[in-house]
A = this chain, B = another copy of it.
Amino acid sequence: MGKGAVTSGDVARLANVSQSAVSRTFTPGASVSQSTRDRVMKAAEELGYRPNALARAMISGQSKLIAMMFAYLENQFYPVLLERMSRELQAKGYHPLLFMTESGNQDDVVKQLLDYQVQGLVLASATLSSDLAVRCGDLGIPVVLLNRDIDDPVASSVTSDNFAGGKLVAEHFVKNGRRRVAYIAGAEDSSTNRDREAGLVVGLAAHGLALAGRFCANYRHDEARDAAARLMNGPERPDAIFVANDYMAFAVIDVIRSEFGLRVPEDVAVAGYDDVPEASWDAYQLTTVRQSTEDMTAHAVALLSDQIDGAFVRPQKVLLPATLIVRRSA
C-alpha cells in the first residue's frame, strides 16, 4: 500500500530466518525460541514492520471489524453510546466500521458490511429496519440491537426496562398531584417507544387515570415542538407531559416556556427518558429515566465477543434496570 510496504519477507531476509518465523513472532502464543524472536523483533523494528491486518484477516477469518449502524447522531444519547461502544471495542481488539444510514439505503449498507467480512453488527437507532438485523443474523453474523428490540430471536438486544421506566414516571407524576398526563411518542413502530408508553399508561391506570393527550413526534425535535404546542392548545391542557426521550423533552420545555410563557414544573411538569448529559444542565434540569450507557455498552460488547468466540452461544435479550432521576422539571 504505502511506499514503505514492508512485508514479513523483508524482515525474514534481514533477520536470516524464514518468513514463517516472522509470522510466528507476531502471533501471540505461537512457538518461537527467544533468540529467533529477538532477531525478528530487531529486524522488524529496524524496517518499521507491522503485520498487514487485511492479509491476516483473510487467512485467519478474523477481520476484527465490527459494523456499527446509526441513523442519526443529533439526539445526544447516540453520540454517548457510539463513543463508549467504540472505546470498548477498541479495548477488546476490535475495530468499529461506522455506517450512517436511513431507511432508504439499508440494503446497500448490508451488502457493504458483508463485503468487509465484519464479525459482528451493532444496530443502534429506534428507526432502523429490523429486517436488516434478521438478514445478518441469518448469515451467521452476531447482531446486537442497542436501545431497541425485535421479536426475532436471531438478534441479541440490550435495552433498559422501558416499561418499568414509563411506569416510574407515571407514579412520580401522580404522587405529585398531576392528574392530566399527556404523552409525546417517539416513532409508532419502535419497540422502545411502545414499551415506554405502555408503562406510562399502565402506571396511570393503576390510579384510575387515562392519558390526557397524545401526539407522535417521531423522535424529531421540530415535531416535538409542534406536538407540545398542540397539547398546550388542546381542550384539556395537560399538567404533566412524559416525552419519549430527553432530546424531544428539551423541545417541549422550550415551547412551554417561550411560546406559552408558562413555567416548568409549576404549570406543566415534563419528564424525559435517557438522562443524556444535557438533562442535568441548569437550563432544563430535566427529570428523566436513566439508562446506564456503561452497562448497555458493556453488555453489548460482551454479547458480541461471546458469540464471536464460542460458535454456539445463543443470542440473548438483556434488560437493564431503569432509574428515575428526579430534577426540577417534574
Contact = CB atoms under 8 A, between A and B. Distances in A.
A277 B74 contact: yes
A117 B74 contact: no
Interface string A289-321: 000000000000000000000000000000000
A29 interface: no
A80 interface: yes
Nearest to A251: B281
B63 A54 contact: yes
A87 interface: yes
B3 A140 contact: yes
Interface string A131-152: 0000000011100000000000
Nearest to A281: B254
Q: Of A55, A63, A87, A281, which is in contact with the most chain B CB atoms at under 10 Å from its CB? A: A281
A50 B80 contact: no
A98 B74 CA distance: 18
A114 to B, nearest CB: 6
B117 A100 contact: no
Contacts of A80: 73-74
B100 A53 contact: no
A279 to B, nearest CB: 12
Given A4-B139, A54-B117, A98-B96, A254 B282 contact: yes
Nearest to A61: B1
Nearest to A73: B79
Contacts of A79: 73-74, 76, 78-79, 82
Contacts of A277: 74, 221
Given A58-B55, A111-B50, A100 B73 contact: no
A172 interface: no
Q: Of A74, A86, A283, which is in contact with the most chain B CB atoms at under 10 Å from its CB? A: A283
For the complex of A and B, list the 8 residue pairs with the smallest distance between their C-beta atoms, beginning with the closest. Answer: A254-B282, A73-B79, A53-B115, A283-B283, A258-B282, A79-B79, A86-B100, A73-B83
Given A53-B115, A79-B79, A254-B281, 5 more contacts: A1-B63, A70-B83, A96-B98, A258-B282, A278-B278
Interface of A: 1-4, 50-55, 57-58, 61, 63, 68, 70, 72-74, 76, 78-80, 82-83, 86-87, 90, 95-100, 111-112, 114-117, 119, 139-141, 221, 250-251, 253-255, 257-258, 277-278, 281-284
